[in-house]
Amino acid sequence: MRKILIPLFAIAVMTSCGAVKNSEGTSSPSISTYHDKAFSDAYASIKAENLKRNLYVIASDEMEGRDTGSPGQKKAGEYIVNYYKNLGISHPKALGSYYQKVPSDFMKKRGGGNLPDSENILAFIEGSEKPEEIVVISGHYDHVGTKNGVVYNGADDDGSGTVAVMEIAKAFQEAKKAGKGPKRSILFLHVTGEEHGLFGSEFYSDNPVFPLANTVVDLNIDMIGRDDPANRGKQYVYVIGSDMLSSQLKVINEAANKKTNNLELNYKYDDLNDPEQLYYRSDHYNFAKHNIPVAFFFDGIHEDYHKPTDKPDKIDYPLLQKRAQLIFTTAWDIANRAERIIVDKK
């Protein structure tokens, strides 16, 4: 999660666009697919223990806080790429590898200082019926690095989102092996440069590997492994942006939630006028600004946010599992429903 707020003038512009957000969608979600055995097996394969195993690597001291372009981040990137290779999940063909280079110059021009070249990591499962339509599931794998020799592990921010994207990808791959691959394609997008200014996602949306016009949704995950003081001990997740552009997305996500772990969906921050301005503070915004529906999943601002104490032993793994299962279920619906979700709001 990015710390610095965006300039006020940009907020004013967006606030005026987002005033209409009350009406509920009328279309019902295609929840019948949830009774599918391939779905239930894939859903059940998302496990706290897997998330934990991967997070203890991604957020280890060896990764040196994963600062953008640092050797530690590249090491974490190699772990992610090898994970996909081992699962038999490839990269987008057009890209030629799992890596999309985000050049130092691009970040410099946007105030990124002297950040070195860095990489987004893209894994891809091609859809069986509508391969040209793309569902994006994203999370940033960079964090803030080390300060005065102290490693900022970023277990929650955004190690939790990183391992959730990996685990969701594995679940879709298992369903595919069982003959129930997604009808639409799914792009598992691990972006870089988030903490310095959402650079990786901005670079992707400026240089999309698949046309943005065919990009159906971005489900963005940034911090889903903890609770915040206002929700201590609760089974909840904040959802932000899900009814900003499509009247269907919030309905689909709520139905997915009811059918699964029935978490409390908290919409406190789902408000363009909220002082925390969270709609603008993670990577989904670079999709939303192109009119692509987004849902941002988040656990709140807790006492270890951007502190060296954001460590993997503080993660609530069962809750992380439930949140990842919700996002998987929502993605499953969007990827498999007959019609692409609509964009009917501005």
Q: Residues in the site for Zn ion, rule: CB under 5 A?
A: 1, 157, 195
Query: Count of H helices and E strands in the chain?
Result: 11, 10
Judged by CB, which is closer to Zn ion: 1, or 171? 1
71 burial (CB, 10 Å; 0-12 / 13-18 / 19+) is exposed
Task: Please report how close the Cβ of residue 65 comes to Zn ion at its closest, in angstroms.
Answer: 11
Judged by CB, which is closer to Zn ion: 166, or 198? 198
Q: Tell me the one-letter amino acid at 189.
A: L
| CB contact set of 46 (below 8 Å; sequence gap of 6+) | 167, 168, 170, 171, 321, 324, 325, 328
**Beta bridge pairs of residue 266:** 238
Phi (first) and psi of residue 220, to 5 degrees: -105, 135
Judged by CB, which is closer to Zn ion: 67, or 157? 157
Judged by CB, which is closer to Zn ion: 182, or 197? 197
Q: What is the DSSP letter of 67?
A: B
187/185 Cα distance (integer angstroms):
7
14/199 Cα distance (integer angstroms):
19
Give the 3-state secondary structure of residue 153.
coil
Judged by CB, which is closer to Zn ion: 195, or 333? 195
Task: Please report how close the Cβ of residue 1 comes to Zn ion at its closest, in angstroms.
Answer: 4
Task: Please report how close the Cβ of residue 67 comes to Zn ion at its closest, in angstroms.
Answer: 12
Task: Please report how close the Cβ of residue 222 comes to Zn ion at its closest, in angstroms.
Answer: 7
Judged by CB, which is closer to Zn ion: 91, or 196? 196
22/72 Cα distance (integer angstroms):
44
Task: Please report how close the Cβ of residue 7 comes to Zn ion at its closest, in angstroms.
Answer: 19
**Alpha-helix runs per DSSP H in 138-275:** 161-177, 194-197, 199-206, 249-259
Confirm if 172 and 125 have CB atoms less than 8 A apart. yes
Task: Please report how close the Cβ of residue 41 comes to Zn ion at its closest, in angstroms.
Answer: 34
**CA distances (Å), 67 to each of 74, 79, 222, 226, in order?**
9, 15, 16, 21
Judged by CB, which is closer to Zn ion: 174, or 195? 195
Q: Which of 193, 181, 216 is nearest to 4 (CA)?
A: 193
Task: Please report how close the Cβ of residue 306 comes to Zn ion at its closest, in angstroms.
Answer: 6
Task: Please report how close the Cβ of residue 195 comes to Zn ion at its closest, in angstroms.
Answer: 5
Separation of first and last alpha carbons in the chain: 25
- Cα 30 from chain centroid? 22
Judged by CB, which is closer to Zn ion: 1, or 219? 1
Judged by CB, which is closer to Zn ion: 119, or 156? 156
- Closest-approach residue to Zn ion (CB): 1
Confirm if 304 and 298 have CB atoms less than 8 A apart. no
Task: Please report how close the Cβ of residue 192 comes to Zn ion at its closest, in angstroms.
Answer: 13
Query: Residue 186 has which token pair?
Result: 């799914």
